[in-house]
Amino acid sequence: MTISTKPLSAHFGVDVTGIDLNTVTAEHLFPQLRALFEEHSALLFRGQDMTDETHLRIAGLFGPIEDRQADERKPDEAFEIPKVSNVMTDGSVSGEMDLKTLNLKSNFLWHSDSTFLPVPALVNILVGRVVTTTGGATELASTRAAWALMPEEMKARIRGRGIWHRYSHSRRKISPELAELPMFNKWPDTHWNAIWENPVNGREALYLASHAFKVDGYDETESEALLAELTAFCTQPAFVYSHKWNVGDVLIWDQRAVMHRGTPWPYDQPRTLSSICSSVTEADGIERMRLPA
């Protein structure tokens, strides 16, 4: 089996072929995948027949599996792979203004997953299970490539500062009612360094998310304007890859160096992606990111 790659975009990401992800183990192929991950920030595997067992195994190789419902689950209740989906338990789809759909719409904001958690995410492994006829793309933006090409004047306004994150902040942009739900208010605000240095290769990335609401040294109005300006720079077309899903596609990206968002689709059509995030560890540079609360 020969692994081959071709660029997804001019600045980051590779389309990986010649591998069946179901065969990946800690000793077999994962070291190569991890090296590609560190170098390119985003990996695409098309047309995989990935099982749930494989999904869990590969996520566990990247790091501890994130479980946002751990405090809600009964002792004998097993972890279930999260679904990014508009499909209800009875098989119907949620209405466009239902809270379930509004939560999905909040994912249309550029973000990195879990910046609001005490331990944020290293990686998201997203699998196409049910796809729509149009729309529903997942877009990735490289904050590493953007930071490398950002004008020094703009860098100077954020370098050396911390950024505060809150889960309900991103939801409030979509719906005040959504932002008040308990699931978006379980964790205290987090405070991270604005720049994440990759400990493997030393490359820096701007650590941004729609959950960010305050920058050290600026008031909230100034912070909002600066965060919007930085996000706009990082999400220029030159730094973005847009993926149109087919069933079986697997997209893996580095949350330390890549923001992402979903795009709208016809809401009367079902759409389901399986998503597992793995948390960062000390080896991924987290201790350099922590700032006092």
What's the pLDDT tens digit per position in 21-36?
999 999 999 999 999 9
Structure confidence at residue 100 as a pLDDT band (50, 70, 90): confident
* Mean pLDDT on 6-24: 97
Q: Which domain holds residue 272?
A: 4-289
- Scored b (16 or more CB within 10 A) or e, 133-165 reads eebbbbbbbbbbbbbeebeeeebeebeebbbbb
Largest alpha-carbon pair distance within the chain?
55
Chain mean position to CA 126: 9
- What pLDDT is recorded for position 115? 98
What distance in Å separates the CA atoms of residue 240 and residue 143, rounded to the nearest whole number?
10
Indicate which CATH number applies to the domain containing 21.
Answer: 3.60.130.10
How many domains would you assign to the chain? Answer: 1
The answer to whether 137 touches 245, Cβ cutoff 8 Å, is yes
Measure the CA angle with vertex 140, ends 248 and 29; round to 5°.
50
Q: How many other C-beta atoms lie within 10 A of the C-beta of residue 271?
A: 23
What distance in Å separates the CA atoms of residue 213 and residue 123, rounded to the nearest whole number?
22
Could you tell me the two tokens for 99?
Answer: 């809270």
* Mean pLDDT on 77-99: 86
